[in-house]
């Protein structure tokens, strides 16, 4: 299926708007009548108001108002790449039909080097996005921006409370790492923490995120897919009864995450889940701004993710005397960002070669200089085993 064949899955944007100079309404190619011819290396926005497998049961609410705010935001002149709004995924007769439509749309777009920005219903749609990458036979890292870990019971049908378990048990498993950002201890069961540690997954607690955003930045930079659950927001940021968490991520941090997701050369799909229209319009406006910051971040990509040659990076080798191990760090001359190399264990297959150079911070290098193995290095080494 080609890019232009995607039209079978979408219904066009159906409200009136003006294409105004210097605003996004003029920059974005919006599907209203004739389905656009999508160019490669572009950003493609669409929404999917699918809530039928949500434990909260919000299937009667169909969000769309974020576009009213998005189209009226400014368009930066440095945005030289195409941006499209394909409208709304048509709901299937069964929820599985909607999953398939999302899977096919994301798979086709990613294969053509386009980046889908998915404004979703319930977070089980993340499973459909994962299946798109599985279809492409690509091992992936997922980052979930969430207050808790939606493991649930894998023996129960797929829903927004157990989609991670379904990802873990789906075969063939192409998930290499899952990072949870903004998690809160009251929402993590002991069994959740045990599984995170057993699988060597990464997590950044809300307190760490609020204190120092640099804790989360390498996890974002190392992700192929980001799934941002709007229910992780602090309730006062939305004034909607659906988002009732008294503690949570602020709107400023949400936009910062979106910006860094856009900057990441590795990020291939950005999704915002559990979007419902709010009476005050705050949630709608926030979603619009998150998309804006993602686009702005994409325009600022450095193109320095070390996927092939490491010749143009400053190399630092640290010998850990106590354990007889050596860690190699790299610093980009373009962005001043850091990576560390994790050696493949002996006799291991090279299936996960693309995961052996791991984003990190300067603090990880300083930690290694103190003869202490950075946590990210250790977890990656264990996963490679």
Taking residue 133's Cβ as centre, other Cβ atoms within 10 Å add up to 22
Q: Taking residues 44-62, what's their average pLDDT?
A: 81
> Which residues, in sequence order, are bridge partners of residue 340?
329, 358
pLDDT at 323 exceeding the cut of 90 = no
Q: What would the pLDDT profile of 279-314 be if each residue is shown by its tens digit? A: 578 899 999 999 999 999 999 999 888 876 777 899
What homologous superfamily does CATH list for 3-299? Ureohydrolase domain (3.40.800.10)
Residues 6+ apart with CB under 8 A from 133: 106, 107, 110, 140, 174, 224, 225, 268, 269
Q: What would the pLDDT profile of 167-207 be if each residue is shown by its tens digit? A: 999 999 999 999 999 999 999 889 988 999 999 999 999 99
pLDDT at 346 exceeding the cut of 90 = no
For the chain, domain boundaries: 3-299, 313-384
The whole-model pTM stands at 0.94
Burial class (CB in 10 A: 0-12, 13-18, 19+), 350: exposed
| Cα 223 to Cα 6, 94, 260, distances in angstroms | 26, 30, 11
Q: How many angstroms separate the CA atoms of 354 and 351, rounded?
A: 8
Of the candidates 301, 303, 311, which has an alpha carbon nearest to the alpha carbon of residue 263?
Answer: 301
Rg of the chain over all Cα atoms, to the nearest angstrom:
21
């Amino acid at each position: 299926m080609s890019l232009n064949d995607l039209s079978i899955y979408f219904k066009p944007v159906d409200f009136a708007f003006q294409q105004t100079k210097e605003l996004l309404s003029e920059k974005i190619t919006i599907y209203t009548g004739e389905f656009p011819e999508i160019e490669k290396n572009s950003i493609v926005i669409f929404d999917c108001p699918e809530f039928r497998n949500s434990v909260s049961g919000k299937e009667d609410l169909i969000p769309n108002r974020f576009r009213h705010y998005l189209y009226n935001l400014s368009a930066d002149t440095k945005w030289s790449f195409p941006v499209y709004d394909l409208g709304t995924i048509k709901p299937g007769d069964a929820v599985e039909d909607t999953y398939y439509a999302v899977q096919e749309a994301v798979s086709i777009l990613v294969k053509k080097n386009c980046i889908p920005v998915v404004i979703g219903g319930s977070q089980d749609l993340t499973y459909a996005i994962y299946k798109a990458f599985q279809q492409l036979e690509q091992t992936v890292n997922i980052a979930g921006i969430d207050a808790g870990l939606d493991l649930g019971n894998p023996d129960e049908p797929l829903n927004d409370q157990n989609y991670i378990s379904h990802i873990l048990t789906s075969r063939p498993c192409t998930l290499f790492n899952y990072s949870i950002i903004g998690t809160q201890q009251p929402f993590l069961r002991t069994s959740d923490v045990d599984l995170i540690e057993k699988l060597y997954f990464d997590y950044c607690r809300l307190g760490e995120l609020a204190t120092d955003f640099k804790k989360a930045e390498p996890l974002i930079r190392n992700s192929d897919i980001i799934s941002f659950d709007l229910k992780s927001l602090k309730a006062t940021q939305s004034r909607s009864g659906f988002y009732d968490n008294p503690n949570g991520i602020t709107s400023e941090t949400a936009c910062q995450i979106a910006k860094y997701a856009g900057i990441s050369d590795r990020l291939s799909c950005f999704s915002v889940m559990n979007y419902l229209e709010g009476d005050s319009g705050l949630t709608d406006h926030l979603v619009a701004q998150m998309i804006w910051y993602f686009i702005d971040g994409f325009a600022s990509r450095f193109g320095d993710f070390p996927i092939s040659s490491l010749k143009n990076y400053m190399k630092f080798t640290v010998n850990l005397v106590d354990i007889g191990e050596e860690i190699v760090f790299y610093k980009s001359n373009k962005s001043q960002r850091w990576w560390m190399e994790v050696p493949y264990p002996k006799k291991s297959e090279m299936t996960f070669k693309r995961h052996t150079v791991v984003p990190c911070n300067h603090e990880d290098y300083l930690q290694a200089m103190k003869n202490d193995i950075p946590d990210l290095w250790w977890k990656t080494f264990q996963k490679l085993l």
